[in-house]
């Protein structure tokens, strides 16, 4: 077997791997489809996640077929199609623990059916199922924005997470969504998902465009744009300041992007907008809702995948995932 490991800064290798034997509380899943995540690329740049092991195993967006079930595990059988929820495993799959999904056979330690191992609905392909993790991240970001039908929302960034946010917002009746990205391919995907507008923030006056789309409202002695919530899935250092300077009274900003360096922003300006800035990470509760929505949304979900490559070409997949025009790069296992 093989396993994709980070060995150092920018040093990622497909290593020979011996899967540990499964115990009575464990399940083994034969991987069928695994998505490449933006965080995988960040971990490679960082040289891995600090952990007691010499390497960082990659892959946390996996779906596959159960091939071994520990004697103590009830409710799942060999042959079942499942999604792995890496946040709910004790071994931090693909995020600093010994296991990662970029391998032929994944050991899921202390597996719990309905928690760390989730059945794939009838008629859903492994590729769509493997989108569960990023879609759950996106849904959690939307949940943290606490918006309702009729609200006006701006999403910064149309990578897989930002696109997932556009999808969930529209699915919930929040149809006035303005998506922002530098890459024309990504803006086109946001429009195809139903965004009202998709703009290149580097080549427009964002405030002026938002005034056109969302209007202007008096806001404590000044005028703010009519946007109710901003969601940052891009992480550009100027976003926080730009949003604060144009935000209306009681608007919200949810930060889901990973900022590696401290940034300055005009706190004083926030005083008169009483705006809320919060963050969102992971998906504490969202996966079951994402899975339940898959049969209804499967065609839209398929549009989030821009490339599919075999496991043998995972290194090429990492390169493609780093290009601005790509969306989700999916790795398929040979017999998937
Ligand atoms: Zn991910």
Q: What is the secondary structure of 32-45 as a DSSP string? A: EEEEE-HHHHHHHH
Q: What integer pLDDT is reported at residue 104 of this predicted model?
A: 98
- How many Cβ atoms sit within 10 Å of the Cβ of residue 221? 6
Residues 145-162 have pLDDT tens digits of: 999 999 999 999 999 999
Distance 254 CA to ligand 1 centre (A): 18
Q: What integer pLDDT is reported at residue 147 of this predicted model?
A: 97
Q: Are 128 and 302 in contact (CB under 8 A)?
A: yes
Q: What integer pLDDT is reported at residue 97 of this predicted model?
A: 93
**What are the backbone angles phi and psi of residue 130, rounded to the nearest 5°?**
-70, -10
Please give the distance of CA 289 from its chain centroid, rounded to a whole number. Answer: 15
Q: What is the mean pLDDT of residues 5-20?
A: 97
3-class state of residue 140 by DSSP: helix
Distance 38 CA to ligand 1 centre (A): 7
- Architecture per CATH, domain 2-131+304-332, reads as Alpha-Beta Complex (3.90)
DSSP 35-102: EE-HHHHHHHHHTS---SSSSEE----EEEEEEEE-TT--S--TT-EEEE-GGGSTT-TTTTSS--SS
Distance 207 CA to ligand 1 centre (A): 31
250: left (phi over 0), alpha (psi -120 to 50) or beta: left
Tokens of 281: 């990470």
| The CATH fold of domain 134-279 | Rossmann fold (3.40.50)
**What are the backbone angles phi and psi of residue 51, rounded to the nearest 5°?**
-160, 165
Residues 174-230 have pLDDT tens digits of: 999 999 999 999 999 999 999 999 999 999 999 999 999 999 998 888 899 999 999
Tokens of 69: 């079930």
Q: CA distances (Å), 256 to each of 39, 64, 138, 170, in order?
A: 12, 28, 9, 19
> Which residues lie near ion ligand 1 (Cβ < 5 Å)?
37
Distance 325 CA to ligand 1 centre (A): 18
Distance 212 CA to ligand 1 centre (A): 34
Tokens of 147: 């918006």
Q: CA distances (Å), 321 to each of 19, 155, 267, in order?
A: 27, 20, 35
Q: What integer pLDDT is reported at residue 335 of this predicted model?
A: 65
pLDDT band at 111 (very low <50, low <70, confident <90, very high): very high
Q: Where along the chain do its domains lie?
A: 2-131+304-332, 134-279
Distance 100 CA to ligand 1 centre (A): 12
Tokens of 42: 């960040």
Tokens of 176: 């006035």
Question: Do the domains spanning 2-131+304-332 and 134-279 agree at the CATH topology level?
Answer: no
Q: What integer pLDDT is reported at residue 220 of this predicted model?
A: 81
Distance 62 CA to ligand 1 centre (A): 10
CA 198/CA 188 separation, integer angstroms: 7
Distance 42 CA to ligand 1 centre (A): 11
Does residue 2 register a pLDDT over 70?
Answer: yes
Q: What is the mean pLDDT of residues 77-103?
A: 95
214: left (phi over 0), alpha (psi -120 to 50) or beta: alpha
pLDDT band at 285 (very low <50, low <70, confident <90, very high): very high
């Amino acid at each position: 077997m093989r396993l994709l490991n980070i060995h150092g800064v920018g040093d990622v290798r497909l290593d020979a791997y011996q899967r540990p034997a499964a115990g009575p509380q464990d399940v083994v899943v034969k991987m069928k489809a695994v998505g490449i995540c933006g965080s995988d690329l960040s971990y490679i740049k960082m040289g891995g996640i600090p952990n007691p092991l010499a390497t960082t195993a990659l892959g946390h967006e996996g779906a596959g077929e159960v091939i071994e079930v520990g004697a103590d595990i009830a409710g799942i059988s060999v042959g079942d199609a499942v999604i792995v929820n890496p946040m709910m495993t004790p071994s931090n799959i693909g995020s600093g623990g010994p296991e990662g999904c970029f391998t032929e056979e994944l050991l899921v330690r202390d597996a719990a059916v309905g928690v760390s191992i989730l059945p794939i609905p009838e008629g859903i392909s492994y590729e769509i199922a493997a989108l569960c993790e990023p879609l759950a991240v996106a849904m959690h970001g939307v949940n943290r924005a606490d918006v309702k039908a009729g609200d006006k929302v701006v999403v910064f960034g149309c990578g897989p997470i930002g696109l997932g946010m556009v999808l969930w917002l529209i699915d919930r009746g929040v149809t006035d969504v303005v998506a922002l990205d530098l890459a024309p391919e990504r803006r086109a995907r946001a429009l195809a998902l139903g965004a009202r507008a998709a703009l290149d923030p580097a080549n427009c006056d964002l405030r002026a465009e938002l005034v056109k789309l969302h209007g202007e409202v008096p806001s404590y002695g000044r005028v703010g744009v009519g946007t109710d919530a901003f969601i940052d899935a891009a992480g550009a250092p100027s976003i926080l300041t730009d949003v604060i300077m144009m935000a209306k009274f009681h608007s919200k900003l949810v930060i889901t992007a990973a900022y590696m360096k401290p940034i300055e922003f005009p706190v004083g300006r926030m005083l008169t907008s009483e705006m809320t800035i919060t963050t969102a990470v992971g998906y504490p509760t969202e996966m079951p809702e994402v899975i339940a929505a898959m049969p209804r949304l499967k065609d839209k979900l398929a549009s989030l995948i821009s490339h599919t490559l075999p496991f043998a070409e995972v290194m090429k997949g990492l390169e493609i995932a780093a290009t601005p025009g790509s969306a989700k790069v999916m790795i398929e296992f040979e017999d998937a």
